[in-house]
Amino acid sequence: MFRLHLLLLASLIATDILHRVVCDQGDEIIDLTYSFDENTLYFPSDMHAPFVQEIFHRGPYGPLWLESNMFTTGEHTGTHMDAPAHLSEGRLRMDEVPVGHLIGPGVKIDMSSKASTNPDALLDVKDLIAWEEENGPIPNGAILMVFTDWGKFYPNRTAYFGSDRNDTFTDSNGNSLLHFPGVSPDAADWLIENRNIVGLGIDTASFDYGQSITFPSHEKLFKANIFGLENVANLDKMPTTGSTVYALPMKIKEGSGAPVRILAVVGDASNSAHTIACKHFIVFGTIFLFIAFIINC
């Protein structure tokens, strides 16, 4: 009986070690969020506001060390989430976005080559189809990220927006002053009609390109209750597939948007071959231990 106990203990230890070595290998957490500070960018309009922090106290407080601050910010400042209600009447507000939609398979579509030669470049249906031909269908419940490589300009307002104005995005004739890539309305339609994504993010200030003044891609996606993520950081570090995205916004009641902390956990995708293999390893390891126990009894 003592030998049996030793066998079971040794087997359990070996299984745990192998699980840690095999299943935990390669996991990485990528922060897709810019810090909020005096350099935080916001869309040039009198409808948006900068981030401002006021330090109330930072130092000794009796026997304690105390830090306490206050901040004000617009809902659509810095790295933020757009609720569908932002540009679609009657759709979900921030506190109504389903919790299950805040976590999903991470998908990155790279349009940086196109954007490098044209600041007004658009992700189109051909780009989506080409991506799927190489990587397979965009999974259900995905949070789709569009990588333009525009993050290299953040937080330089002039380079990032194509304009140094922070009070307006149009000139005296009503034409847009801005230049940065985005998502075409046709691509938005294709995603709505053919795939089941829950959110769309981009590393620019808007997923409608800079020259837009009517924001049709916003309207289309929001009408389908697909949320938006804008000013997403570090998309160059996110893999094309094989991650899970966590987009966790401030829960503002009846909000049209909110600051958001976005993480991509590489190797955490539930449908990845690595994760499936690890699940099989645990199941079969447990069965082996059970058989060994029966035989030695």
Residue 12 has pLDDT above 90, yes or no: no
**Within this chain, do residues 101 and 225 fall inside the same structural domain, yes or no?**
yes
Can you give the pTM of this predicted structure? Answer: 0.83
* Burial zone of 125 (CB within 10 Å; 0-12 exposed, 13-18 middle, 19+ buried): middle
**Within this chain, do residues 111 and 7 fall inside the same structural domain, yes or no?**
no
The per-residue pLDDT for 23 is: 55
Number of folded domains in the chain?
2
Please state whether beta strands 257-266 and 243-249 pair in parallel, antiparallel, or not at all (unpaired).
antiparallel
**Can you tell me the mean pLDDT for 54-70?**
97
**Can you tell me the mean pLDDT for 112-124?**
98
Find the range with the poorest average confidence among 41-55, 241-255, 266-280: 266-280
Residue 229 has pLDDT above 60, yes or no: yes
Confidence of residue 176 (pLDDT cuts 50, 70, 90): very high
**Within this chain, do residues 281 and 236 fall inside the same structural domain, yes or no?**
no
pLDDT per position as a tens digit, 253-288: 999 999 999 999 998 655 444 554 454 455 445 444
**Residue where the block lists tokens 């330089």:** 156
Task: Please provide residue 128's backbone torsions phi and psi, each rounded to the nearest 5 degrees.
Answer: -65, -45
The per-residue pLDDT for 283 is: 45
Contact assessment for residue 271 and residue 105, using Cβ atoms and an 8 Å cutoff: yes
CATH number (domain holding residue 219): 3.50.30.50
The per-residue pLDDT for 27 is: 79
Confidence of residue 16 (pLDDT cuts 50, 70, 90): low
**Can you tell me the mean pLDDT for 205-210?**
97
**Within this chain, do residues 200 and 279 fall inside the same structural domain, yes or no?**
no
**Within this chain, do residues 196 and 286 fall inside the same structural domain, yes or no?**
no
**Within this chain, do residues 287 and 194 fall inside the same structural domain, yes or no?**
no
**Within this chain, do residues 37 and 176 fall inside the same structural domain, yes or no?**
yes
Per the structure, the complete domain to which residue 14 belongs is given by: 2-25+275-296
The per-residue pLDDT for 142 is: 98
**Within this chain, do residues 222 and 280 fall inside the same structural domain, yes or no?**
no
Residue 86 annotated in active site? yes
The per-residue pLDDT for 191 is: 98
**Within this chain, do residues 118 and 261 fall inside the same structural domain, yes or no?**
yes
**Within this chain, do residues 45 and 145 fall inside the same structural domain, yes or no?**
yes
* Burial zone of 290 (CB within 10 Å; 0-12 exposed, 13-18 middle, 19+ buried): exposed
Which of the following is catalytic: 76, 80, 86, 218?
86
The per-residue pLDDT for 19 is: 52
**Within this chain, do residues 89 and 217 fall inside the same structural domain, yes or no?**
yes
The percentage of the chain sitting over the pLDDT mark of 70, rounded to a whole number, equals: 81
**Within this chain, do residues 160 and 64 fall inside the same structural domain, yes or no?**
yes
Average pLDDT, the chain: 88
Confidence of residue 296 (pLDDT cuts 50, 70, 90): low
- What is the C-alpha separation between 117 and 120, in angstroms, rounded? 9
The per-residue pLDDT for 24 is: 54
